[in-house]
Amino acid sequence: MTPRGLYCAIFGAPESLQRHIVIYMVLASIFSVILVGALSRSVLVEHVVEYRYETLEAGAKEMASRLEEAPDGSLAIKTFRIGSDDYNRVIDYALYSLNGSPLTGASTPLPPRISIYGTTADSYWFRTANDQPGVAVPLVLNGKKEWLAAIEGGKHPYSNPTPLWGEILGHSYPLIGLTLALVLAAAILAARNSLNPLTRVLDQLSRISPSATGQHIEPDAAPYEIRPLINATNQMVTRMEEGYQTQRNFAGNVAHEIRTPIAVLKSRLQSTTAEPACKELLVDLEQIERITYQLLDMSRADMLAGTDFEQINLVQVASELVCDMAPAALDSGIYLALSGVASAPAYGNPGFLRMALRNLVENAILHSPVDSEVEISVQKSPPGWQVRDHGDGVPDSDLTRIFNRFDRGDRKQSGLPGVGVGLSIVRQVCDAHGGTISVENAPDGGAIFSLILTDNAGTGAKEIPS
């Protein structure tokens, strides 16, 4: 499998619903990871700042509880610094008056209360002019209320949380990658499971055809959201079936009703062949008769069902047809030849397959020059026939539409009789048997029609001696 094929197998074909579902779920997961990461970083920064202030506040309160007034009225401890083993930093302690003037251990006033960062019941947090965090706690000395401030004297390792965040991300990358991989797998699985009912619906739709009436989509096999679409499709299929049935009935009834008058008229013309005009009318009448029988064949082919199939031998069907059609072909100056294998077992309806082969041979005779040969070749694996003529071949513009009903294409300019029914009957019969019908132009002139059936023949077909 190519890389592109593998990609399509996993994510779905371009413009497919599966690919859109997978892409949207992956994008939503990536966006969620980014959003959670941003929120986590914001919470981390907030907690780091709060922790720094809480540490300063605890130290300041502890120091305030240990300060004592000396006998001469001075402080026993003046300016001092205490190192912190936790972060390898120092904390400056200083005394301020109630109005914020420095008393000892500091040379700059205490920041006003209006510039505080936060406050607790008995302290307030602030930042110095150098953006150093500090905490001031109340202290009573000599009967006066003073402030004891604790200020970070060195740079805190977490003053910039970015390195800490980077370290956390470094440890989280494997987990994030695993999470995204699991999300991707879940998205692909969810998309495929969601589309499985649509695949079943598509399979049921593919079995609906004019020759397979009564085929409808089961709404219970589809998601609730698309059941209205399925109900509307079933109603449309029902209307199409009614239209096809009306068309079949009309074609069959018309052909059946005019068959008897045609036979009577033909009999009368044959009894008066002395007149040249009668001979011309007889030729035209035979063409009308051929079209009538084709319409009847088309009506019957629409009703073909697999329950009418049996084990047959394509060689036997072809040999019997050649024997029946050879006299008329010789009258037209065309020779029929049968070649190929001695036996070609197949499974199908012998009457309809004979009808299809007859239409191919009639079409070949019609387009063959006088004193030429039409060859019917039988093959065994897979079973099928090839009918070749030596006429002008099929125009390139007609190769893709030659089997369409009532579509004669560029052949209507040739002046040859026909209404474009015979080859459409061949395709109907071929489709009902699960086979294929194709046409190609031979390198040395003429057309080759190939009717190939499925290779599921049993052993019940009769052997035809060569």
Of 366, 368, 367, 386, nearest to 376 (Cα)? 386
Say if residue 235's pLDDT is above 70.
yes
| Residue 270 shares a structural domain with residue 329 | no
Structure tokens at 444: 């040395």
User: What pLDDT is attached to residue 459?
Assistant: 37
User: What pLDDT is attached to residue 330?
Assistant: 92
| Residue 257 shares a structural domain with residue 315 | no
Backbone angles phi, psi at 94, to 5 degrees: -150, 155
CATH of the domain at 417: 3.30.565.10
Q: Rg of the chain's alpha carbons, rounded to an integer?
A: 48
With b for 16 or more beta-carbon neighbours within 10 A and e for fewer, the 198-234 pattern comes to: eeebeebeeebebeebeebbebeebeeeeeeebeebb
Q: Length of the chain in residues, anyone?
A: 466
Q: Assess if residue 62 is contained within a domain.
A: no
Q: What is the pLDDT of residues 407-454, one digit of tens each?
A: 655 555 555 555 567 788 888 888 888 899 999 999 888 999 999 998
Cα 249 to Cα 303: distance, rounded to the nearest angstrom: 11
Cα 223 to Cα 289: distance, rounded to the nearest angstrom: 53
2-8: long-range contacts at Cβ-Cβ below 8 A with a sequence spacing of 24 or more?
none
Average pLDDT over residues 38-52: 77
User: What pLDDT is attached to residue 372?
Assistant: 92
Q: What is the pLDDT of residues 76-125, one digit of tens each?
A: 544 444 444 454 456 777 777 666 777 666 666 776 654 566 666 678 88
Report pTM: 0.46
Least confident piece of the model among 255-269, 354-368, 378-392: 255-269
| Residue 243 shares a structural domain with residue 386 | no
In percent, the amount of the chain with pLDDT more than 90 equals 16
Cα 295 to Cα 292: distance, rounded to the nearest angstrom: 5
User: What pLDDT is attached to residue 252?
Assistant: 64
Say if residue 362's pLDDT is above 50.
yes
User: What pLDDT is attached to residue 173?
Assistant: 72
In percent, the amount of the chain with pLDDT more than 70 equals 67
| Residue 351 shares a structural domain with residue 400 | yes
Q: Which residues contact 176 (CB under 8 A, 6 or more apart)?
A: 33
User: What pLDDT is attached to residue 98?
Assistant: 66
Q: Assess if residue 195 is contained within a domain.
A: yes
pLDDT band at 466 (very low <50, low <70, confident <90, very high): very low
Average pLDDT over residues 39-52: 77
Q: Which residues contact 75 (CB under 8 A, 6 or more apart)?
A: 67, 69, 95, 104, 141
Which amino acid, residue 184?
L
Largest CA distance in the chain: 161
Average pLDDT over residues 449-464: 62
On average, the pLDDT of the chain sits at 75
- 38 or 353, greater pLDDT: 353
User: What pLDDT is attached to residue 338?
Assistant: 94
Cis amide bond preceding 382, omega within 30: yes
| Residue 288 shares a structural domain with residue 311 | no
User: What pLDDT is attached to residue 334?
Assistant: 93
| Residue 362 shares a structural domain with residue 317 | yes
Average pLDDT over residues 339-350: 91
With b for 16 or more beta-carbon neighbours within 10 A and e for fewer, the 406-445 pattern comes to: ebbbebeeeeeebbbbbbbbbbbbbbbbebebebeeeeee
User: What pLDDT is attached to residue 264?
Assistant: 75
Q: Which of residues 303, 322, 341 is at a domain's end?
A: 303
Average pLDDT over residues 179-193: 76
* DSSP three-state, residue 159: coil
Region of 100 (left: φ > 0; alpha: ψ -120 to 50; beta: rest) is: left
User: What pLDDT is attached to residue 66?
Assistant: 64
Average pLDDT over residues 263-291: 71
Q: Assess if residue 59 is contained within a domain.
A: no
Q: Assess if residue 235 is contained within a domain.
A: yes
Q: Assess if residue 458 is contained within a domain.
A: no
| Residue 360 shares a structural domain with residue 376 | yes
Say if residue 299's pLDDT is above 80.
no
Q: Assess if residue 248 is contained within a domain.
A: yes
pLDDT band at 250 (very low <50, low <70, confident <90, very high): confident
Identify the domain containing residue 140 by its residue range.
68-152
CA of 369: how far to CAs of 183, 334, 381, 460, in Å? 70, 8, 32, 39
Q: Are 97 and 160 in contact (CB under 8 A)?
A: no
Of 81, 101, 99, nearest to 91 (Cα)? 81
User: What pLDDT is attached to residue 78?
Assistant: 43
* DSSP three-state, residue 439: strand
Pairing of strands 116-119, 447-452: unpaired
Average pLDDT over residues 290-295: 69
| Residue 177 shares a structural domain with residue 247 | no
Q: Which of residues 244, 270, 303 is at a domain's end?
A: 303
User: What pLDDT is attached to residue 215?
Assistant: 73
- 402 or 337, greater pLDDT: 337
| Residue 179 shares a structural domain with residue 285 | no
User: What pLDDT is attached to residue 203?
Assistant: 78
| Residue 135 shares a structural domain with residue 233 | no
| Residue 434 shares a structural domain with residue 359 | yes
Q: Are 146 and 98 in contact (CB under 8 A)?
A: yes
Which position has the token pair 């904390």?
Answer: 91
| Residue 174 shares a structural domain with residue 228 | no
Q: Assess if residue 423 is contained within a domain.
A: yes
**Number of domains into which the chain is organized:** 4
Q: Assess if residue 141 is contained within a domain.
A: yes
User: What pLDDT is attached to residue 457?
Assistant: 44
pLDDT band at 336 (very low <50, low <70, confident <90, very high): very high
